Amino acid sequence: MAVDPQRPSGGTPAPQPGVPAPEPGVGKPDPLLVLDQVTRTFGGLVAVQVDHLEVQRGTITALIGPNGAGKTTLFNVVSGFDRADGGEWSFDGQPLAGRPAHRIARYGLVRTFQLTRTIARLTVLENMLLGATAQRGERLLPALLPPLWRAQEREITDRADELLDRFRLTKLRDDHAGTLSGGQRKLLELARALMTRPVMLMLDEPMAGVNPALTQSLLGHITALRDEGLTVCFVEHDMDVVMGISDWVAVMAGGRLVAEGPPYTIGRNRAVVDAYLGKRHDEPEAMGEEA
Amino acid sequence: MDFEVILSDALRSGLGPIAAIYALAAMGLNLHFGYTGLLNFGQVGFMLVGGYGLAITVSTWGASMWLGVLVGLASAIVLALLLGLPTLRLRADYLAITTIAAGETLRLFYRSSWAEPTTGGVFGLQRFAKDFYDLNPVPRGSYGVWLVEFSARDMWVLIVAWGLVVVVGILLALLVHSPWGRVIRSIRDDETAVRSLGKNAYAYKMTSLVLGGVLGGVAGMLQAIQVQSVSADSFDPAVTFFLYTLLVLGGAGRILGPVIGSILFWFVLTFLDSALRQAIDSGVISSDLISTSEIGAVRFALVGLALILLVAFRPQGILGSRKEMLLSGR
């Protein structure tokens, strides 16, 4: 089921054209993820310094910015895979600063990776089963007594099969994940993340290295998930993809949040153009902004 | 040359208590390396604290052997925690460095003159397993079929050791084929992915390290019981590398890998030893070429050669799956 990337998405009420772009860090109704003064430095380099950012529940938010803008670092910090140098962030009211990655995932904030991380020596189905949370059989002593976890294993196998069907991976079910193509692994990683029953998905460049046909299919899956109530935040470089699918776009440059707004306001935004193309110093307007 | 003697020696070694003891220690290493991907280069350290835990409790403190067994198990657990706490959050190679150092440090510490009042220093400790042999239900005499024969005493150790191999094998098979096993096998391939799915990878790695270490401790205790003596120098780093050799030979990441590997390793090692001895005695190999005192070194050189050939032509070992092994880097 392909989705036209140019089609405006239907998650939030269409903003009124002509309304000026909101300030970076603007408040939103029903924010799910709230970041405050999040900083990460590497030696003297300030990789991330986000003063305030809110992600609205039930929307698709794209995080864009030139290479080295700090998008992936921000993802790593928020998901607990990197430590912040300062700041607070909360998910559904639950403070996350200093929490280990697995705890954050258990709260329902689940991420994928830019370089796909499927488990090569497990089958596709086993990869899916690994995603399920609160499994009795994952504790040491119950693991020794299969009757204690067999029923739950059947349950999650059924759920895994449904998701594999949805992502058209059923015929690969019993293959080792290491034999899959790059695109198939992206699909598997997304499906596996869904096995955790996440509240919000953070996808780090989900379309990187994926052929155009599969990109369309991935976009379709992501919008469908949003329509089912999931909140999605993703890092992306392809502007067509960003404009077509997202309800909201946040732009980072030099570690800071420089602009945010509905997709159609972003292309015209001065700060965004400057971030991507560099400022023209002979332009009086640019000089004025700098002062 | 007497081929019956050679074969008899080799079979006795391959089926004897030592093969079972090495199989147990290697099963622990298999849980670490084969299933969880932990590079433990100090399995001999777990054997040492296990063996000495038992020996010190009985010989030095005069307590019962069964308390000694508990002390041996507890020592292995404490060692695993001490090694794991600082290193398991770091990259895999740090555990390797720490464990190899810990194994050597422990050996030097237990043999030091400072520790002599407790550990017997370089002399070690002897005669602490009377309780074990008092329980021997096997009537006096010797037992065997065909070329293999064991004394009643060896039979008792053999029954207990191979019995433990079977029990541990069943427990490990249950574990690695459970959802718990799925998590540790996933940690072996990609720990980050496992954490991103809400699993506490650190706790799983620690559990694996403790369980495998305890198996090393049990092997160390059995070895101490079998010879009724412990000496620090019998726990040198080479033991760990023999364990890796037989694990790779049998197939890492397979329940029966270390068992098959251990039987074959001891069979081949003793076969070479005995065959070389016979060949020199009967003049087939001139004693100018290899003298009897050099046999020990030559057989290890030949084992090394066999290992090189194995890695070149069948890197997955006897039971391993080549397909799976080729996927591991992806």
Instruction: Identify whether residues A231 and A245 lie together within a single domain.
Output: yes
Q: Which residue of B176, B178, B209 to mutate against A (max A Cβ within 10 Å)?
A: B178
pLDDT of residue A133: 92
Alpha-carbon gap, residue B3 to A277, rounded angstroms: 83
Q: Is the pLDDT of residue B115 over 50?
A: yes
Closest Cα of chain B to A118: distance in Å? 7
Q: Is the pLDDT of residue B111 over 50?
A: yes
Chain A positions in Cβ-Cβ contact with residue B327 (cut-off 8 Å)? 120-121, 176, 178-179
- Partner residue facing A102 (CB), from B174, B175, B200: B200
pLDDT in tens, B57-95: 999 998 899 999 999 999 999 999 999 999 988 888 899
Asked if A122 has any chain B CB less than 8 Å from its own CB, the reply is yes
The predicted model scores a pTM of 0.89
Is residue A75 one of the residues assigned to a domain?
Answer: yes
Task: Find the residue in A nearest to B325 (Cα).
Answer: A121
**Who's near B231: CB < 8 A, 6+ residues apart?**
B111, B120, B122, B123, B124
Instruction: Identify whether residues A79 and A140 lie together within a single domain.
Output: no
Is residue A234 one of the residues assigned to a domain?
Answer: yes
Interchain contact, A140 vs B185, CB within 8 Å: no
Q: Are A6 and A239 within 8 A, CB to CB?
A: no
Q: What is the CATH number of the domain that holds A220?
A: 3.40.50.300
Please name the amino acid found at residue B164. Answer: L
Instruction: Identify whether residues A88 and A142 lie together within a single domain.
Output: no
Count how many domains chain A has: 2
Asked if A112 has any chain B CB less than 8 Å from its own CB, the reply is yes
pLDDT of residue B40: 94
Asked if B182 has any chain A CB less than 8 Å from its own CB, the reply is yes
Query: Which CATH code for domain B3-327?
Result: 1.10.3470
Instruction: Identify whether residues A105 and A236 lie together within a single domain.
Output: yes
Instruction: Identify whether residues A207 and A261 lie together within a single domain.
Output: yes
Task: Find the residue in A nearest to B181 (Cα).
Answer: A138
Interchain contact, B174 vs A192, CB within 8 Å: no
Instruction: Identify whether residues A221 and A281 lie together within a single domain.
Output: yes
Q: Which residue of A119, A124, A181 to mutate against B (max B Cβ within 10 Å)?
A: A119
Burial of A44 (0-12, 13-18, 19+ CB in 10 A): exposed
Asked if A101 has any chain B CB less than 8 Å from its own CB, the reply is yes
More confident residue, A27 or B173: B173
pLDDT in 10s for each residue of chain A, 291 residues: 344 444 444 444 444 555 566 788 888 888 999 999 999 999 889 999 999 999 999 999 999 988 888 999 999 999 999 999 999 999 999 999 999 999 999 999 999 998 899 999 999 999 999 999 999 999 999 999 999 999 999 999 999 999 999 999 999 999 999 999 888 999 999 999 999 999 999 999 988 878 888 888 899 999 999 999 999 999 988 778 888 899 999 999 889 999 899 988 887 777 777 777 776 665 555 444 443
Instruction: Identify whether residues A101 and A46 lie together within a single domain.
Output: yes
**Who's near B199: CB < 8 A, 6+ residues apart?**
A102, A130, A138, B183
Q: Is the pLDDT of residue B154 over 60?
A: yes
Name residue, tokens 């049990």.
Answer: B218
Residue B196 phi/psi, 5-degree rounding, is -65, -15
Instruction: Identify whether residues A74 and A140 lie together within a single domain.
Output: no
Is residue A19 one of the residues assigned to a domain?
Answer: no
Chain A positions in Cβ-Cβ contact with residue B186 (cut-off 8 Å)? 119, 122, 130
Is residue A237 one of the residues assigned to a domain?
Answer: yes
Is residue A17 one of the residues assigned to a domain?
Answer: no
Strand order across the beta sheet in which A248-253 lies: A109-111, A200-204, A231-235, A60-64, A248-253, A256-261
Q: B87-100 burial by CB neighbour count: b if 16+ within 10 A, else e?
A: bbeeeeeebbebbb
pLDDT in tens, B97-106: 999 999 999 9
Give the domain extent around A140.
Answer: 119-179
Q: Which helix (H) or strand (E) holds A95?
A: strand A94-95
Instruction: Identify whether residues A90 and A138 lie together within a single domain.
Output: no
Chain A positions in Cβ-Cβ contact with residue B34 (cut-off 8 Å)? none
Instruction: Identify whether residues A102 and A210 lie together within a single domain.
Output: yes
Q: How many CB atoms lie within 10 A of CB B281?
A: 13
Alpha-carbon gap, residue A29 to A200, rounded angstroms: 16
Is residue A78 one of the residues assigned to a domain?
Answer: yes
Instruction: Identify whether residues A83 and A213 lie together within a single domain.
Output: yes
> What ipTM did this prediction achieve?
0.88
Kindly state the tokens that stand for B111: 């043999």
Instruction: Identify whether residues A158 and A44 lie together within a single domain.
Output: no
Closest Cα of chain B to A127: distance in Å? 8
Name which of B202, B236, B232 is nearest B95 in CA terms: B202
Interchain contact, A196 vs B197, CB within 8 Å: yes
Q: Is the pLDDT of residue B187 over 50?
A: yes
Task: Find the residue in A nearest to B171 (Cα).
Answer: A144
Q: How many CB atoms lie within 10 A of CB A257?
A: 26
Please provide the size of chain A in residues. 291
